[in-house]
Structure 1
Amino acid sequence: MKQNVQPPKPIILLNIDSLMPEPLEIAVQTGRAPALKFLMENGHYISNVVSPFPTMSVTIDSSLLTGTYPNKHHIPGLNWFDNSKKEIINYGTGFRETTKLGMRRTVHNMLYRLNNEHLGEEVTTIFEDLADKGIPSASINSFVYRGNTPQHLHVPRFLSTLTHFKNGEWITKAPSIISLGMFSKLRPRGFTAQIAAGNYKFTARELRHLIRKNRLPGFTFCIFQDMDARIHFKGRMDIKGITKIDRQIQKTLNMYPSWEEALNRNVWMVMGDNGHAPTGANYREFIIDLRKILKTFRIAKIQRSVHKKDQLVLCVNQRMSYIYVLDNNLSLTTVINQLQTDKRIDIIAWKEKDYVHIASGMKNGSLRFSPTGEYKDEYNQTWNIDGNFDLLDLDVRNEKMLSYGDYPDALARVYSALHSHSGRFIIVNAKPGCDFKAQSTPFHLSGAAHGSLHKQETLVPLLIAGTTAKPAYPRLVEMKEFILRLSSQQ
């Protein structure tokens, strides 16, 4: 490892969970977000950054930090099935579901196995790459944090019964500076309002502590998590959460002689991770119960280990789901035909040999595709495609140039999800307004939800101030290369 060096400007990336372009623009235009307005007017504003699929936080953060889609980093979602160990991996989807799966197991998945077992060894994180260059980094409030520095994290005594850690402590590799709620705090007297991670005030105070103590490293990654839960209930156009977080950003910028000086000293980036799609109010109309659609098959119960006679395992990620077919005598076609009877399922995807196949409960026909071919998309990726292009809302112009409609970067994102882990499985995507449900999974009526391939959940905003540089393409998966490029400019 090289001796510590400092890039020209420390980079601060503020990841605001569920920040979306439309409510952000309204908050800015109505004067409710002056700090974000300042960054927007004094830098670049990109409103259509593509998030990975499924649009769930652990998958998104893994893509952001590794610069790869799930087929490389192997975090398929918040809820998935490990075929090699025959167990459901859940990182915390809801109290009822995690309780049935086992609270200790879920907590252990999130705190330890996510970074130390599940995140692919063949990829590296921003933290690891910067450390190899001698540039220190910090992670504040992110459950995806893998770095090069061994760190001791501690579980408070009242939570120790919910973990597998001996003496309530575990050693993990992380950045040189890590803050993770009550498990690791930069301020000894810092108060954590939430049980696990810190809330938006905690995150901002930890960042301000680094600035105040002149400890700001070359790269600092901060997550503000609070807005997601609020939008699930209030709807996607709620802006009160943006206003609250903006006040914390104002306080941070106020630490400098002027806001302009804050840009002179640092590169500031603010981004969302996923959007939300509005959900309907009528349970029978808008909640897709996969158990009822697939009731003719033997579905594994989550409160016990998978049995030999179980044919299917259901892993719901809000508006998308993985359906695992365990019975080798049961063809995928049989399950797919049953799924197509529900007109609320707009995309059904599976892999077969070298191709990804697409069907739908809403539209007729089929589509298949594979990487490398005669069609080139707007991200300079080439594809071999055959079938009904409308199933993924693909538009082909002259010279076989491909563009995306309702499902941004759909080919790469579906391909990556289907190749993110082993097993025979099908992906289903719900049409806007609908939410999937299985045994004890949370659902969201009269509010909003995410997880799917749709543009409402996919396109997020990005603000960049303090530099004239921009990512190569408006995709979240490009952020790692962009940050490393900025960090290496001497």
Structure 2
Amino acid sequence: MKLLLAVIDGCKPSMLERAVQRGEAPVIEAVLERGSFVPELCAAFPSVTPVCATSIATGVLQDRHRIAAMNWWSRAEGRYVEYGSSFKAARKLGIARQLTDTVYNLNGVHLDPDTPTVYESLDDAGVRTAGTTYLVYRGRHEHQISRETALTRLAGTLFRRSVMGPRELFYADIFASRETGCRSQLGLPGIRDQHSGCVASWLAARDLYDFLLLSLPDNDTWSHKNGPHAQPTSIAAADRQLARVADAVGGVERLLDTHAVIICADHSHAAVERRLELRPAFEDWAVVGPGASAVEEAEIAICPNQRAAMIYVLGDTDRAAAVPRIVATAQDVAGVDVLAWMQDGRGVVRAPGRGELRFAPGGDLRDARGNAWSVDGDLGALSAATGDGTFDSPDYPDALRRVWAALTCATAGDVLLSAGPGYEFPDFGGADHVGGGSHGSLHRSDSLGALAYCGVQPPPGRGPGAWSITDVAPMVRAHFGAD
């Protein structure tokens, strides 16, 4: 049986349920009728798309895949890496650089070469793979730049190198393994879902895949602008692209007879009401640009990631002395909810007004996924409770595992920040989503996305509170016997 993995970017479980109840998502409804619904699929932290998309594609968190954030500081190159927070941020850091990082470097340089993607695993197993525009596309098949239209030939002046992807790769209009007649206007928001649906239905009608990743990112753009409670409209639009695939194979029932289906979010969305400005609080520090100190003179780098942020200690600055000063400064900024850093081989989590908690893998406590931890300090830092040998933090789901992976990621900052409900860090271009929705934090409001599946088996032991986006790739691999 084939497998269709549809990733609806930022899909909030309650909003998916509302779209189904209204009769606006009939394909998703059919999947739910045949299969299962998980309303608490936990994202990575920071719960931003590059980190989460990579975790879906690999089945691991960033301590292994190394994609630390949407915006991070490359110690190796001495520069900011930016995967597309906004057009304003891209202009500030350099549009060509931002596009090169997103299109080429994320897959070809930054993603750990020893961590296989689901495409690579399935390609190695002889499965016919296919994918529409998704941040993580690395596979075993080489693809040249498309020359299909005048627009793509113009884009070819910047994008000149081939890439390795699934057998059938369609990435905006830049890479297209076949001439389908589908156009994305180089990945224009609002057009991306339609392009994915066009390509997927074309492939389905011609039986050109066994595994297809159908990327549906426009729900995220819509939610950023209109807020999470506007999602039923964009979820219904995503469902229409699923319907195109179903129509190409003979209808919804035929689709579900011939395909296992996984529909998942990479994260969720929370309403944003206020900006959370970090730079003014660090005016006494030498902060590396843009528009600030040169690399040679800088003490720290500040990387905003929507509802999360990372601060790096740079150069010859004494980390042991700098980290406590950074924490003391950041914890007094209104809207900072949780701070995390490493100290003496242990993770430290501090929540202003709620206390400080220290933790490390191994110990007497088990989380919902069965991982063992040693914990001491104030459980209130994560609004947590212990009992019968378990650690539970409902407001900060899978907190210990997520924070540990973030802190031990080789490319992560020295101090990580999570914004409180209603707050967002503006990006380098000054853009924010006040009045709309955003994500990135450790909090459940933007960490718990939707999952629906049928025709495929879940990993063992995945009850309430135990589901993670890292479970998706193992489900796909197991379906094809590639695990």
- TM value normalised by structure 2: 0.92
SS, match of residue 440 in structure 1? coil
How do residues 78-97 of structure 1 correspond to structure 2 at under 5 angstroms? 78-97=70-89
Q: Where in structure 2 are the equivalents of 1:67-466 lying within 5 Å?
A: 67-154=59-146, 168-185=159-176, 186-195=178-187, 199-215=192-208, 217-238=209-230, 239-280=232-273, 286-303=274-291, 306-326=294-314, 328-329=317-318, 330-361=321-352, 363-398=353-388, 400-422=389-411, 425-437=414-426, 439-466=428-455
My pick for the range that moved more, 321-330 or 234-243, is 321-330
Letter of the structure 1 residue corresponding to residue 40 of structure 2: N
Q: Secondary structure at the match of 2:135?
A: coil
CA contact (8 A) 1:290 1:438 kept: no
Deviation track 1:234-267 (CA, whole Å, cap 9, x = no partner) reads: 1101111112222222232233444222211111
1: distance between equivalents of 2:186 and 2:29? Answer: 29
> Which structure 2 segments of 5+ residues have no match?
none
Q: Is the 8 A contact 2:205 2:249 kept in 1?
A: no
Q: 2:459 aligns with which of 459, 471, 474?
A: 471
| CA displacement at 1:225 relative to structure 2 | 1.1
The separation in 1 between residues aligned to 2:293 and 2:143, in whole angstroms, is: 33
Separation of aligned partners in 2, 1:161 and 1:314: 35
Letter of the 2:458 counterpart: K
Q: 1: CA distance between counterparts of 2:48 and 2:473?
A: 18
In the TM superposition, residue 404 of structure 1 has moved relative to its aligned partner by 2.3
Distance 1:91 1:405, change over 3 A: same
What amino acid maps onto 1:178 in structure 2? L
Judge conservation of contact 1:104–1:164 (CA < 8 Å) in 2: no
Partner residue, 1:47: 39
**Alignment-mate amino acid for residue 101 of structure 2:** N
Opposite residue 45 of structure 2, the aligned amino acid is: F
Seq. identity, %: 24
* Paired residue secondary structure (1:15): strand
Residue 288 of structure 1, CA deviation? 1.2
CA contact (8 A) 1:187 1:206 kept: no
Q: Distance in 1 between matches of 2:157 and 2:73?
A: 21
Distance 1:437 1:163, change over 3 A: farther
In structure 2, the partner of 1:3 is none
SS in 1 for 2:290: coil
Q: Over aligned residues, Cα RMSD in angstroms?
A: 2.2
Q: Residue type matched to 2:301 in 1?
A: V
Contact 2:350 2:381 in 1 (8 A): yes
**110-119 or 365-374: which moved more?**
365-374
Matched residues in 1 for 2:204 and 2:349: separation? Answer: 50
Aligned-partner residue type, residue 251 of structure 1: R
Match status 1:484 vs 2:477: yes
Question: TM-score if structure 1 supplies the norm length?
Answer: 0.91
CA distance in 1, matches of 2:203, 2:154: 32
Q: Post-superposition shift, 1:325?
A: 1.8
CA separation in 1, counterparts of 2:39 and 2:76?
40
Deviation at 1:184, TM superposition (A): 2.1
**Which consecutive residues of structure 1, in runs of 5 or more, have no partner in the other structure?**
1-8, 281-285
Per-residue CA shift, 1:136-174, capped at 9, x if unaligned?
211111121111112213477667887885xx4311111
SS of equivalent residue, structure 1 residue 289: coil
